[in-house]
């Protein structure tokens, strides 16, 4: 008991308890991380449910021309057998113009970005000489050639689709012939003349989708122009736009891709593994930085806020000779941890900025009233501690709003905080801390 009455031992035990409490308060912080991931997953599930009825993220692949033919092959027993196959031909050039009209649909507490698009696809395909491409060619059926266009989700097609070739409009139906082009496709049978060397095509699409619009270029030269009435695009895929223009409520972008960007030859026989996902180009429609990402970033600063707040109370406790019981430290720590749960729950309904203001204001007010009692109704000290705590939350908020400069700002901020602590405690006699002989700087 005599040992425990020693001020140095008492301070050592109190410091150890505070460190232990900080570590224990990281447990609810870990639960918070899991909760944020669960809420993110719930949002993704809601988006998928809406997309199933509207139209999922759309990816346009192609088009390609498939020319049926027959040829003879040698069997193991020396016999020859006639087999049927397709010669697939990619276009020389393709131009895709997409105009997206974006709408926000609210489902429960979530907002999902949907779009309606008008897409015009034009291009030109050169007809190869099949006898030069196919060994042991027996018969060609160019009059039964198939033009196929891959579309990620056919539910998004709003109207019947026709392909216009040499002034003739030909309906495009659900694709059943070419299975490797995309998860789903549309196709038309094209009557190509025997002596025809080139076909020019034009396809108009009215396509609905959700959050993402992408293109898989298959031509020797592809140009894609996309514009939308939305000011927060995120350009995705293995090919970034050559030019882009972004304003508050609109963006436009232009991509170009050559034969070097695709992973298929210009002409091939039979099925093929396209392996084209890294060669895609497109845009994600986003709502700024997702609130769950902000909550996750905010939760990463929990150790900093709790640690600095406890340090403040520790110094105020011995500077003002007001003993703070471990249970009181625990209650303050729980209030600090509750901030992140308030922030997450309120931000789902009111947005992150307002949620941060309400949550931080509530926690600071709660701790301030509690501190007023702990410091024996010392208003000056309570206001000082509240101001420091408010400044800390403002500092964290600034870090959350910054992206490119968050790391350097955080590093400089921590250096400044450490400098202030070192300056404020420079006259403390740590060997005599806890006794009347401790030398604290005057207010």
User: CA 344, CA 338: separation in Å to the nearest integer?
Assistant: 10
Between the alpha carbon of residue 196 and those of residues 102, 236, 253, 281, the distances in Å are 42, 38, 35, 32
Asked if 266 and 384 sit in the same domain, the reply is no
Instruction: Report if residue 441 sits inside a domain.
Output: no
Given pLDDT bands bounded at 50, 70 and 90, which one contains residue 20?
confident
Instruction: Report if residue 328 sits inside a domain.
Output: yes
Asked if 110 and 71 sit in the same domain, the reply is yes
Asked if 211 and 63 sit in the same domain, the reply is yes
Q: What is the pLDDT of residue 433?
A: 55
How do residues 212-268 score in pLDDT, each as one tens digit?
A: 999 988 899 999 999 998 888 888 888 889 999 998 888 999 999 988 888 788 888
Instruction: Report if residue 52 sits inside a domain.
Output: no
Name the nearest CA neighbour of 70 among 149, 20, 136. 136
Q: Is 355 a residue whose pLDDT tops 70?
A: yes
Domains in the chain: how many in total?
2
Instruction: Report if residue 440 sits inside a domain.
Output: no
Q: Is 92 a residue whose pLDDT tops 90?
A: yes
Mean of the per-residue pLDDT values for the chain?
Answer: 81
Asked if 244 and 114 sit in the same domain, the reply is yes
Q: What is the pLDDT of residue 430?
A: 59
Least confident of 139-143, 169-173, 286-290: 286-290
Last residue of a domain, one of 236, 260, 287: 287
Q: What is the pLDDT of residue 3?
A: 43
Instruction: Report if residue 48 sits inside a domain.
Output: no
Q: Give yes or no for a contact between 69 and 87, defined as CB atoms under 8 angstroms apart.
A: yes
Last residue of a domain, one of 270, 287, 304: 287
Q: What is the pLDDT of residue 163?
A: 92
Given pLDDT bands bounded at 50, 70 and 90, which one contains residue 348?
confident
Q: What is the pLDDT of residue 124?
A: 93
Asked if 256 and 312 sit in the same domain, the reply is no
Instruction: Report if residue 277 sits inside a domain.
Output: yes
Asked if 253 and 303 sit in the same domain, the reply is no
**Position with higher pLDDT, 196 vs 189:** 189
Can you give the CATH number for the domain in which 120 is found? 2.60.40
Q: Which two tokens stand for residue 372?
A: 């007023």
First CA to last CA across the chain, in angstroms? Answer: 34
What percent of the chain clears pLDDT 90, i.e. is strictly above it? 18
Average pLDDT value for residue range 103-120: 84
Name the nearest CA neighbour of 303 among 7, 58, 5, 28. 28
Asked if 131 and 268 sit in the same domain, the reply is yes
Asked if 171 and 306 sit in the same domain, the reply is no
Asked if 301 and 341 sit in the same domain, the reply is yes
Q: Give yes or no for a contact between 283 and 341, defined as CB atoms under 8 angstroms apart.
A: no
Q: What is the pLDDT of residue 431?
A: 60
Instruction: Report if residue 268 sits inside a domain.
Output: yes
* SS (HEC) of the chain: CCCCCCHHHHHHHHHHHHHHHHHHHHHHHHHHHHHHHHHHHHHHHHHHHHHHHHCCCEEEEEEEEEEEEEEEEECCCCCEEEEEEEEEECCCEEEEEEEEEEEEEEECCEEEEEEEEEEEEEEEEECCCHHHHCCCEEEECHHHEEEEEEECCHHHECCCEEEEECCEEEEEEECCCCCCCCCCEEEEEECCCCCCCEEEEEEEEEEEEECEEEEECCCCEEEEEEEECCCCEEEEECCCCCEEEECCCCEEEEEEEEHHHCCCCCEEECCCCCCCHHHCEEEEECCCCCHHHHHHHHHCCHHHHHHHHHHHHHHHHHHCCCCCCHHHHHHHHHHHHHHHHHHHHHHHHHCHHHHHHHHHHHHHHHHHHHHHHHCCCCHHHHHHHHHHHHHHHHHHHHHHHCCCCHHHHHHHHHHHHHHHHHHHCCCCCHHHCCCCCCCCCCC
Asked if 395 and 329 sit in the same domain, the reply is yes
- State which residues form the domain around 164: 57-287
**Position with higher pLDDT, 176 vs 367:** 367
Instruction: Report if residue 338 sits inside a domain.
Output: yes
Q: What is the pLDDT of residue 180?
A: 73
Q: Is 203 a residue whose pLDDT tops 90?
A: yes
Q: Is 181 a residue whose pLDDT tops 60?
A: yes
Given pLDDT bands bounded at 50, 70 and 90, which one contains residue 205?
very high
Last residue of a domain, one of 287, 316, 340: 287
Q: What is the pLDDT of residue 184?
A: 85
Q: Is 35 a residue whose pLDDT tops 70?
A: yes
Q: What is the pLDDT of residue 443?
A: 46
Given pLDDT bands bounded at 50, 70 and 90, which one contains residue 275?
low
Q: What is the pLDDT of residue 123?
A: 93
Asked if 112 and 208 sit in the same domain, the reply is yes
Q: Is 353 a residue whose pLDDT tops 50?
A: yes
Given pLDDT bands bounded at 50, 70 and 90, which one contains residue 206?
very high
Asked if 78 and 16 sit in the same domain, the reply is no
């Amino acid at each position: 008991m005599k040992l425990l009455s020693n001020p140095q031992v008492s301070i050592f035990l109190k410091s150890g308890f505070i460190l232990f409490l900080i570590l224990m308060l990281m447990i609810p912080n870990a639960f918070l991380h899991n909760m944020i991931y669960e809420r993110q997953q719930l949002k993704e599930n809601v988006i998928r449910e809406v997309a199933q009825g509207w139209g999922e993220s759309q990816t346009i692949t192609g088009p390609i021309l498939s020319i049926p033919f027959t040829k003879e092959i040698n069997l193991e027993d020396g016999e020859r057998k006639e087999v049927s196959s397709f010669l697939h031909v990619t276009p020389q050039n393709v131009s895709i113009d997409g105009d997206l009209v974006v709408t926000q649909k609210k489902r429960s507490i979530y907002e999902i970005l949907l779009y309606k698009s008008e897409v015009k696809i034009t291009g030109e395909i050169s007809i190869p000489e099949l006898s030069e491409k196919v060994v042991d060619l027996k018969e060609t059926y160019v009059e039964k050639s198939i033009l196929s266009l891959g579309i990620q989700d056919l539910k998004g097609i709003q109207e019947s689709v026709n392909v216009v070739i040499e002034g003739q409009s030909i309906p495009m139906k659900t694709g059943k012939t070419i299975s490797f082009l995309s998860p789903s496709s549309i196709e038309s049978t094209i009557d190509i003349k025997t002596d025809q060397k080139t076909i020019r095509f034009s396809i108009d699409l009215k396509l609905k989708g959700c959050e993402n619009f992408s293109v898989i270029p298959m031509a020797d030269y592809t140009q894609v122009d996309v514009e939308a009435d939305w000011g927060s695009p995120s350009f995705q895929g293995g090919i970034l736009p050559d030019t882009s223009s972004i304003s508050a409520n609109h963006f436009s972008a232009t991509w170009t891709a050559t034969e070097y960007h695709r992973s298929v030859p210009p002409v091939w026989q039979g099925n093929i593994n396209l392996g084209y996902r890294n060669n895609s180009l497109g845009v994600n429609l986003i709502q700024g930085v997702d609130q769950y990402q902000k909550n996750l970033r905010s939760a990463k600063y929990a150790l900093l806020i709790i640690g600095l707040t406890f340090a403040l109370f520790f110094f105020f406790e011995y500077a003002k000779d007001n003993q703070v019981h471990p249970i009181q430290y625990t209650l303050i720590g729980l209030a600090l941890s509750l901030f992140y749960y308030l922030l997450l729950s309120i931000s789902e309904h009111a947005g992150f900025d307002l949620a941060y203001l309400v949550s931080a204001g509530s926690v600071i007010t709660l701790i301030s009233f509690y501190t007023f009692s702990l410091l024996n109704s010392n208003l000056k000290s309570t206001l000082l501690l509240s101001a420091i705590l408010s400044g800390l939350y403002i500092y964290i908020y600034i870090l959350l709003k910054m992206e490119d400069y968050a790391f350097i700002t955080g590093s400089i901020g921590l250096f400044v905080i450490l400098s202030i602590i070192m300056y404020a405690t420079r006259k403390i006699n740590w060997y005599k801390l806890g006794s009347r002989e401790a030398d604290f700087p005057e207010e």
